[in-house]
Structure 1
Amino acid sequence: MVYVNARFLTQPITGVQRYALEISRQLVELMPSIKFVAPQNILHQETARALGVEVIGSRTGHAWEQIDLPALLKTRNSPLLINLANTAPLLYWNKVSTLHDIAFEKFPENFSWQFRTAYRLAIPRMMKTSLKVLTVSEFSKSEICTAYQLRPEKVSVVPNAVSSAFRETPASASERYILAVSSISRQKNFHGLVEAFGLLRQDTHKLYIAGAMNKIFADSDLARKIESNPRIRLLGRVSDDELANLYGGADAFVFPSFYEGFGIPPLEAQACGCPVIVSDAASLPEVCGDSALYCSPYDVNDIAEKIGLLISTPELARTLREKGRANAGRYNWRTSAMRLLEAIGKLQCQPQASTA
């Protein structure tokens, strides 16, 4: 019997939770005997019903994960536990754990000291006590193996993919624009993008920014730059359907991030037929291959130059659209879930050895 830690159903959806949700939807079809367990404070009830989630324990949050969950499993002969959302019960050894990246080490300023401290204590233990570690790219695998001194064969790559909500549909926009999407944090390099957009000598396109706005207004320097440029529009949080329409209507999608374990937004844009510009850093060259136009995230002039080139060269835009569609098609959740099952299948056929 295989169990899945479904605590992610109690959390708001970000990239990590979306990964867990999509993989779980595939797992329940590929392995009907799989069991999902979660605490009582589930936010996504419809998904929980579809997965047949069993609610267990009296606690919530980390206490549920560290106390209630392993206690239940031990009463059921300690089955294999799959953890998909960066955390896991530390003292339970028969487990597979997922770590998307180590951004909390590379960009600690983006996280509260409580979060950094908790992860710096928990993640090494989670890596040590897991039979197998899953991550989303070869880049992240290399980073994780180096940071925690893991053998490469202990880490399997199970990549992200694109939700079915993101697909090409007829789109009409009242004005021409460049799109940027993400949470607003230093590693995403919105400062560089806003500065680069200000350097462009053009009056044909606006810059639309979709995502949570709270951190923009907490950063007085970024807020001032945005407010001083009437060609920048802040859209706030948008639904998947709204985002798909924004991708479809944009002349370019720009993602100049310093650090990504994978980077789903460029694939979403490509699936919607939008040409993309991404940074030449971290996992993005691996994920995008030759389907994107690359810029240096450290050079605002280069970012501006690549934006100007794409919006002024129709043939380049057509080429990137075609290559982007093909690239987005390389990833799908069913294939990723099958990779996960292959990894745990090999694990179950092998005698348990050192977890280092």
Structure 2
Amino acid sequence: MIVINSRFLTQRITGVQRFSIELSLQIKKKLGCQVLFVSPPNILHNDLAEILEVKVIGTRTGHAWEQLDLPCFLNRTGKPLLLCMGNTAPVMYRNKVSILHDVTFLRYPKTFSKKFLMYYRLVIPWVLRTSRHVFTVSKFSLEEIVSSYKINRHKLSVVYNAVNPIFEHIGDDVLNADKYLFAVSSIKENKNFGIAVNAFKIVQKQISDLKLYIMGDMNADSFRNMGHLIDECKKDANIKLLGRVSDSDLIRYYSNAIAFIFPSLYEGFGIPVLEAQSCGTPVIASNISSLPEICGDSVLYCNPYSIEDIASKMEQIINNAELHDDLSRKGFQNTSRFSWRKSAEVVVRIINSL
């Protein structure tokens, strides 16, 4: 029996949760009744919990459930192998495999609350030390983990993200009537939200009817130093802050954009790039962190520290139809390199070896 820590079902869906959900669905297909999904009682995604046949255990929630209720259950049931896919894991339980997606919390600590940082800095070294094997989502992240924690690289493996098949081109006459660039971002420091907005304003001077649509959590209360930028965006009629949207709406926004803009300073993988490419949208992406590894020659790279360079790349993709179509074609080819099925096969193979 393999037990999967399904605390991700109690959380809002971001990249880590999407990875955990997609990989879990594939592992369920492969292993069937050989795998047991367990979760705290505060499940948000009941439809997924039903598909995975989740067993609710314990009474606590959050980290307390993970560090107390989960290991108590495992110790009572013969100490089976545990798979944890959301960075953290019960530190006192040693028969486990863990997945650490990246070390953004070390490289960009201002992105996180003091409470979050304190917990991760305390727990992550113990998780790495007490796990039998550790996965991460790119070769870039693997090297970051090795250099940050001096862990033996033979203890780590790469299991890539992928994109759900629902992400495909869907035309929309209303959105297609607008000439817009699209970004999926937040006001976290590593997402480089401000520089994308400032680059757009340069291009806007040349193309007055150009718009910028931004999807993501813009909670200025958590990042007060960025609140002024959000206020500026709200005053610009050509910038639309969409907040969080459903997957169906996200697909439409991707599909009908001139280009997808992703000038991130630090990414363990960068799922939004593959989502945009699956919808046929050309991508302008940062030339650092994991993105060259994930994107190859399928995107138009930009210097994420240069407003002028990002603006120049925006103008290129808007004014050069041949470049636009070439990147769209290469994007489709790039996404075919990744699949949740293949990633699940990597995980299952190593789990079986343990």
Deviates more, 1:100-109 or 1:203-212: 203-212
Match of 2:311 in 1: 304
Counterpart CA distance in 2 for 1:165 and 1:259 is: 26
3-state secondary structure, aligned to 1:308: helix
Contact 2:132 2:155 in 1 (8 A): yes
The aligned amino acid for 2:16 is V
Counterpart CA distance in 2 for 1:176 and 1:24 is: 38
Counterpart CA distance in 1 for 2:242 and 2:43 is: 28
Superposed CA offset, 1:178-198 (max 9, x none): 001122211111110011111
Deviates more, 1:66-75 or 1:313-322: 66-75
Contact 2:234 2:240 in 1 (8 A): no
Contact 2:5 2:85 in 1 (8 A): yes
Superposed displacement of residue 307, structure 1: 0.5
Contact 1:270 1:328 in 2 (8 A): yes
Superposed CA offset, 1:200-245 (max 9, x none): 1222421111112223994233124324533211112111100100
The 5 A counterparts of 1:56-135 are 56-135=57-136
Counterpart CA distance in 2 for 1:320 and 1:159 is: 22
> Which of 163, 175, 179 does residue 176 from structure 1 map onto?
179
**2:214 counterpart of 1:209:** yes
Counterpart CA distance in 2 for 1:287 and 1:187 is: 18
Deviates more, 1:163-172 or 1:120-129: 163-172
Contact 2:125 2:149 in 1 (8 A): yes
Match of 1:351 in 2: none
Match of 2:26 in 1: 26
Counterpart CA distance in 1 for 2:97 and 2:350 is: 9
**2:341 counterpart of 1:334:** yes
Contact 2:220 2:230 in 1 (8 A): no
Match of 1:144 in 2: 145
Contact 1:193 1:256 in 2 (8 A): yes
Superposed CA offset, 1:38-67 (max 9, x none): 111111111111111111112221111111
Deviates more, 1:138-147 or 1:337-346: 337-346
Superposed CA offset, 1:246-272 (max 9, x none): 111001000000000000111100000
The 5 A counterparts of 1:248-327 are 248-327=255-334
Taking only the aligned residue pairs, the percentage that are identical comes to 49
Contact 1:156 1:343 in 2 (8 A): no
Deviates more, 1:64-73 or 1:226-235: 226-235
Match of 1:159 in 2: 160
Match of 2:243 in 1: 236
3-state secondary structure, aligned to 2:260: strand
Counterpart CA distance in 1 for 2:21 and 2:178 is: 35
Contact 1:194 1:225 in 2 (8 A): no
The aligned amino acid for 1:9 is L
Counterpart CA distance in 1 for 2:346 and 2:67 is: 27
Contact 2:234 2:241 in 1 (8 A): no
Counterpart CA distance in 2 for 1:55 and 1:250 is: 42
3-state secondary structure, aligned to 2:162: coil
The aligned amino acid for 1:138 is K
3-state secondary structure, aligned to 1:290: coil
Superposed displacement of residue 104, structure 1: 0.6
Query: Normalising by the residue count of structure 1, what TM-score does the alignment of the two structures yield?
Result: 0.95
Structure 1, unaligned runs of 5 or more: 349-356
Distance change >3 Å, CA 224–CA 170, structure 1 → 2? closer
Contact 2:220 2:227 in 1 (8 A): no
Match of 1:8 in 2: 8
Contact 1:185 1:215 in 2 (8 A): no
Superposed displacement of residue 152, structure 1: 1.2
3-state secondary structure, aligned to 1:162: coil
Contact 1:9 1:42 in 2 (8 A): yes
Counterpart CA distance in 2 for 1:213 and 1:58 is: 32
Superposed CA offset, 1:93-151 (max 9, x none): 00001111001111000100000000000000000000101110000000011111111
Superposed displacement of residue 199, structure 1: 1.1
Counterpart CA distance in 1 for 2:127 and 2:282 is: 39
Superposed displacement of residue 281, structure 1: 1.0
Deviates more, 1:167-176 or 1:251-260: 167-176
The aligned amino acid for 2:229 is L
Aligned residues: 347
Query: Normalising by the residue count of structure 2, what TM-score does the alignment of the two structures yield?
Result: 0.95
Match of 1:352 in 2: none
Structure 2, unaligned runs of 5 or more: none
